[in-house]
Structure 1
Amino acid sequence: MTAPGSPAPKTAENLFDREAVAYTIIVGAALIFASNHILARYLGGIIPPMGFVFWRMAIGAAVILPFAGYGLFAQRRLILRNWKLFALMGLLFVPLGNGAIYAAYTFTTALNGGVVSAAQPAITVLLSALLWRDLINRKQGVGIVIAAVGVLAIIARGNPQAILALEFNVGDLIMLGATSAVALHNVLVRMVPKEISVPQLLVIVQLFGLMVTTPLYVLETIYVRPVPISGETIISLLWIGIAVTAIAVGLTNASIRRLGPNKASISNYMRVLFTAILAILLLGEDLQAYHLFGLFAVMGGVYLMTRGRSVPTK
């Protein structure tokens, strides 16, 4: 017990309540998320995409399951009643989302992929309007248009003629599709029963996603190539499975609860910035003028989008 009037002990919960600490943590999580894009590009021609996402989710689920396992067992009937929703979310998040992201990096650069994937919040707002009839206010509408212009600039490599001729890099198009799949997954979160906690939902989506991905992984191993076993691939998969899938996601969710979604949106900006810096320093990628234009357009659009709130229709 503490004496009356003495300061409260510095527990982990109290520490998270400090806004400065929450900002520091979410920026650190953004750096970890950026490492996912860098490793995906670096290992794009080494680890096949379905093998990449299979082991990432398997390792991540193994790390989180001990903390969420009891709750999952307690909610087993609720999970079974909603298995179609969770299967769809798993399909969108694992093979069509993150698996496609790893496939995209076989064809495109980390700079391009980082900027294109940053449009996810704008795509999420647009899909929410289409599916749930959420009203898009003027700021959000302008933000979506600006972000779309930035994405087009990246996909077209700054060449307007490429847009007119529909000559795009296949990797950038795959990245855009993958980003849209993850955005749709996020939109469907609204349908998840409130009894399911965030850690439980993460494991549920990972496990259902693994069920869908396993046949694809087996076919990829037989007809394309298996995941090579080496120190480099094992360390990389452990890092992405533990640091990215478990730690960074957990830290981000905790910071969002403290800061709120608008303030926590700094994570989107920092992730793109860290991805660009690491891509230049570690991968030797060249920063072009269209990268800067696309970066500022996407970030500006996302900024406007997060400053306007969608209004659900009645």
Structure 2
Amino acid sequence: MSRKLSPVTALLLTVPPLMWAGNAVVGRMVSALVPPITLNFLRWAIAFFILLPLAAWVLRRGSGLWPHWRRFALLSLLGVGCYNALQYLALQTSTPLNVTLVAASGPFWTLVIGALFFHAPVRRHQAVSAVLSIFGVLIVLSRGEWQQLLSVRPVVGDLFMLLATASWSLYSWLLSRRDEPETIRSDWAAFLLGQVVFGLGWSGLFSAFEWGLTDAHITWGWPLLATLAFVAAGPAVLAYRCWGLGIQQAGPAVAGFFANLTPLFAALLSAAFLGEMPHLYHAAAFALIVAGIWVSSRH
């Protein structure tokens, strides 16, 4: 059955990539104010209190969460503990546009992880899509200088973002297994809160290591407080809800095209707030990545 893309659905699917791009930009803006792993912990701590009134029942003994604690602990390690912490680490040395473009290598990592660990067959159009996407990422890593690709040394932030994207791809595969009770799965706030509860343990542990091993410090003020409010309410909660509703109404194939608006929004926001103008190689990388998603989605 075909699904019509209404203006409301299009808006729902546009909000998440805008939030994700904004997350990358503000993460770069406050990189000198708060340590990156601590930023991730504070973000999810605030998100926990936002979600609590919506789904406090999931924390009760008979909700079905606790018998499946191992699954939620693993999901939260990859999605809450690792992905955003690595992204904020990446933004210490890389730009928001680079970070969002490297994150678009997700189709490649999804195919590799699916084939290696989940026995998922790789079809021809999927391989073509992944190759196009990875070429786009290589353009970003080489800064558009193909002749120097073999000798180029990507900044450490780009490598952190590659690890983050691989972590998210593994998280996505585990998410598709649907091992948790349907009562939790069908309630978006309960499902997210169940992950955040365990994710606070992981992110708190990683933050403790950050403070013990580095010269970490926080510069409190309105810029940081506004950032924390945004990254907790916007990318962590609002984007999650809009994305789920958009996929229900338009399907995952159409949603995939909207996800690739993230680098475009990152370029616009970076130019507006950071003065970091995009280059020609960014446009070429974006075109290749979108072409890869199109090849995959049209089948």
| Residues 1:65 and 2:55 aligned together | no
Taking a change above 3 Å as real, the CA distance of residues 64 and 122 of structure 1, as seen in their structure-2 partners, is farther
Question: Which residue identity lines up with residue 268 of structure 1 in the other structure?
Answer: A
Q: Which of 252, 257, 266 is the matching residue for 1:266?
A: 257
Q: In the TM superposition, what is the alpha-carbon distance from 1:84 to its structure 2 partner?
A: 2.1
Q: In the TM superposition, what is the alpha-carbon distance from 1:124 to its structure 2 partner?
A: 2.4
- Cα distance between partner residues in 1 of 2:218 and 2:169: 28
1:24 corresponds to which residue? 11
- Cα distance between partner residues in 1 of 2:70 and 2:44: 19
- 1:178-217 alignment runs, 5 A limit: 178-191=164-177, 192-195=179-182, 196-197=184-185, 198-217=188-207
- Cα distance between partner residues in 1 of 2:273 and 2:62: 45
Contact kept? 2:108, 2:131, Cα under 8 Å? no
Question: Which residue identity lines up with residue 110 of structure 1 in the other structure?
Answer: P
Question: Which residue identity lines up with residue 44 of structure 2 in the other structure?
Answer: M
- Cα distance between partner residues in 1 of 2:209 and 2:202: 12
Q: In the TM superposition, what is the alpha-carbon distance from 1:153 to its structure 2 partner?
A: 1.1
| 1:136 partner SS | coil
Q: In the TM superposition, what is the alpha-carbon distance from 1:122 to its structure 2 partner?
A: 3.9
| Residues 1:275 and 2:263 aligned together | no
Per-residue deviation, residues 84-103 of structure 1 (Å, max 9, x unmatched): 22212211112321101000
1:302 corresponds to which residue? 293
| 2:275 partner SS | coil
Q: In the TM superposition, what is the alpha-carbon distance from 1:305 to its structure 2 partner?
A: 2.5
| Residues 1:236 and 2:227 aligned together | yes
| 1:143 partner SS | helix
- Cα distance between partner residues in 1 of 2:252 and 2:206: 35
Bigger radius of gyration: 1
- Cα distance between partner residues in 1 of 2:209 and 2:59: 30
1:7 corresponds to which residue? none
Q: In the TM superposition, what is the alpha-carbon distance from 1:162 to its structure 2 partner?
A: 4.2
User: Sequence identity, in percent?
Assistant: 27
Taking a change above 3 Å as real, the CA distance of residues 162 and 253 of structure 1, as seen in their structure-2 partners, is same
Q: In the TM superposition, what is the alpha-carbon distance from 1:273 to its structure 2 partner?
A: 1.1
- 1:166-181 alignment runs, 5 A limit: 167-181=153-167
| 1:124 partner SS | helix
Q: Which of 75, 81, 103 is the matching residue for 1:95?
A: 81
Tell me which moved more, 136-145 or 120-129. Answer: 120-129
| Residues 1:134 and 2:125 aligned together | no
- Cα distance between partner residues in 2 of 1:285 and 1:240: 21
Tell me which moved more, 28-37 or 247-256. Answer: 28-37
Contact kept? 2:107, 2:129, Cα under 8 Å? no
- Cα distance between partner residues in 2 of 1:29 and 1:166: 33
1:35 corresponds to which residue? 22
- Cα distance between partner residues in 2 of 1:265 and 1:43: 29
- Cα distance between partner residues in 1 of 2:16 and 2:241: 9
| 1:164 partner SS | coil
Q: In the TM superposition, what is the alpha-carbon distance from 1:194 to its structure 2 partner?
A: 4.5
Contact kept? 1:120, 1:180, Cα under 8 Å? yes
1:116 corresponds to which residue? 102
Q: In the TM superposition, what is the alpha-carbon distance from 1:61 to its structure 2 partner?
A: 1.8
| 2:31 partner SS | coil
- Cα distance between partner residues in 2 of 1:219 and 1:294: 36
- Cα distance between partner residues in 2 of 1:74 and 1:125: 38
Q: Which of 31, 36, 45 is the matching residue for 1:44?
A: 31
Contact kept? 2:104, 2:289, Cα under 8 Å? yes
| Aligned positions, number | 291
TM-score (norm 2): 0.90
TM-score (norm 1): 0.86
- Cα distance between partner residues in 2 of 1:57 and 1:259: 29
2:210 corresponds to which residue? 220
Q: In the TM superposition, what is the alpha-carbon distance from 1:144 to its structure 2 partner?
A: 0.3
